[in-house]
Structure 1
Amino acid sequence: MKSYLAAAVQMKSKPHLIHNLGEAEDLIQLAVNQGAELVTLPENFSYLGDEASKMTQAQEIAEQSEKFLKTMAQRFRITLLGGGFPVPAGENKVCNTALLISPEGQELARYNKVHLFDVDLPDGNTYTESSTVQAGNSLPQLCRTPQLGNIGLSVCYDVRFPELYRHLSKQGADILCIPAAFTAYTGKDHWQTLIQARAIENTAYVVAPAQTGKHYGMRYSHGHAMIVDPWGTILDDVGVHPGVAIAEISPIRLKQVRQQMPCLQHRVF
């Protein structure tokens, strides 16, 4: 593993596939121009609209999203994460799928979100992800890359389930990716705390691309895409507007923190 720059992209995706892919391309270009070799896109990067419209277009969204990720990774010679898009799964449902692509345009890892967001919030919004999404049936497997380190995938609501990240850290994760479309209501209180907690308890980098602002109707996202180091220090935070967080992933820093706080070696259970 070498030192390199990672990017966490922040988008304001809409119910318009082509528009979103154009915005994603611009932000990938911005990250590459700053030297990023690992670029991560948020959950719902290619489409963020109501469930009925999503399901009607699911096949096209899936095909165009995967084609886009492979094309961009090859064009810019980067490792690229699409943090979550619908992939038809039969029985009128889709999987919420994160896909990691190599600079050669090859699939490195695929993960279907296992924890689904079925929540009634005090702000009047109700989310029932399970109405259209089929939960994944297996924990994510670590993607081991010689240059960029060991990368673990997850998606949004997974961040509230620390056992998933402990599973990844036990496999040797150096970087935990947490692409999200975190709601504005919960994000203001929980997003930063959860991201830092996952970094600290696993002494790993966390790269967390995010959605921000108003998407449609009453759907608002919190923003604050960020990159956090293994000590829990926020290295970069985009804020509330679309943009890119950039930070160095350093194997020296990773080793230093794990020597100073060897909690992964002290696990009892």
Structure 2
Amino acid sequence: MSTQLSIACLQYTSTKDEIKTLETINNLIIKAIKLGAEFIALPECATSLQENSNVTRQLASFEEESLSLKFLKKTAKSNAIYILVGSLPIKQKSKLVNRSFLINPQGEVIYRYDKIHLFDVQLPNGDIFKESKTYLNGKKATIAKIKEKKLNIGMTICYDVRFPNLYQDLAENGANVITIPSAFSAVTGPIHWHTLLKARAIETGCFIIAPAQTGLHECGRKSYGHSLIISPWGKILADGGKKVGFVFSKINLDEVEKFRKSIPSLYSKQKYSTNF
């Protein structure tokens, strides 16, 4: 059984025009498949990114009615590939959930993950974000297990990356790859993005797959870009910069166990008392 996997992370600028964004996604998927990609990851807010809560609600749909999800399921099946849909706004109860989907080569949604940590912040430049106004936070950490690929994917989304305990839990329970689809702010990105993702890779001994939004969105928000694929050693295997396109890398899952045996910090935790 092969432990190698060819991965592509798509990078683009979502608009409120779902059809237009899906056309961009489709064109990038076609190009990535020509390089041999068998696992293609899309960023957070995969087909629409809006700042206005009311607009986001208008563009959201119930899972079974989602045009984007139907299209991507069909695309996965027709090309016999895995697609990670970074996230879509899905209607549920009084608010929405920011939900990530993993679709198999048969076009079936096999795993879902609702973003646990919502982006409620005030940045140094005065920008204020309050995702909890629009979304309910998820309650369940998720590992997507694909036995035929020896692949255990810890599913997370963007702001989750600032909560290392989640990543420790995923790694300790078998994850060898962690996905972090994002729409990272252009304000925090230059200082935090690479550092946070490399830290999550090194401390978990996992491959990090982080497709990202890039550029100026219609709502005025700027996304940082720099989609990344990172090895368990913290080596950046691919960096998308700021341009629309995709990054591609072949990974070998055997490197996960090799790293963890070399630096076994994941298995060497000690209990301790405190004086506070």
Same-fold status (TM-score > 0.5)? yes
Shift of 1:146: 2.2
State the partner residue of 1:220. 222
Shift of 1:59: 1.5
SS in 2 for 1:6: strand
State the partner residue of 1:193. 195
Shift of 1:148: 5.1
Is 1:67 the equivalent of 2:70?
Answer: yes
State the partner residue of 2:206. 204
Spell out structure 1 runs of 4+ moving beyond 6 A. Answer: none
Shift of 1:231: 0.0
Shift of 1:69: 2.0
State the TM-score, normalized to the length of structure 1. Answer: 0.95
Calculate the aligned-residue CA RMSD, in Å: 1.5
Which has the greater radius of gyration?
2
Q: Deviations over 1:96-140 (max 9, x none)?
A: 000001000112210000100011112232111010101112222
Q: Deviations over 1:137-156 (max 9, x none)?
A: 22223434321511110000
State the partner residue of 1:39. 40
Q: Map 1:1-269 onto structure 2 (within 5 A).
A: 2-49=3-50, 50-59=52-61, 63-91=66-94, 93-147=95-149, 149-268=151-270
Do the aligned partners of 1:113 and 1:135 also contact (CA within 8 Å) in 2? yes
Do the aligned partners of 1:11 and 1:45 also contact (CA within 8 Å) in 2? no
Residue identity in the other structure for 2:142: P
Q: Deviations over 1:16-61 (max 9, x none)?
A: 1111111111111121111111110000111112322121121178
Shift of 1:254: 2.3
SS in 1 for 2:25: helix
Do the aligned partners of 1:142 and 1:168 also contact (CA within 8 Å) in 2? no
Shift of 1:202: 0.4
Gaps of 5+ in 2: 272-276
Gaps of 5+ in 1: none
Equivalent pairs: percent with the same residue? Answer: 38
CA distance, structure 1, for counterparts of residue 219 and residue 56 of structure 2: 15
Do the aligned partners of 1:207 and 1:227 also contact (CA within 8 Å) in 2? yes
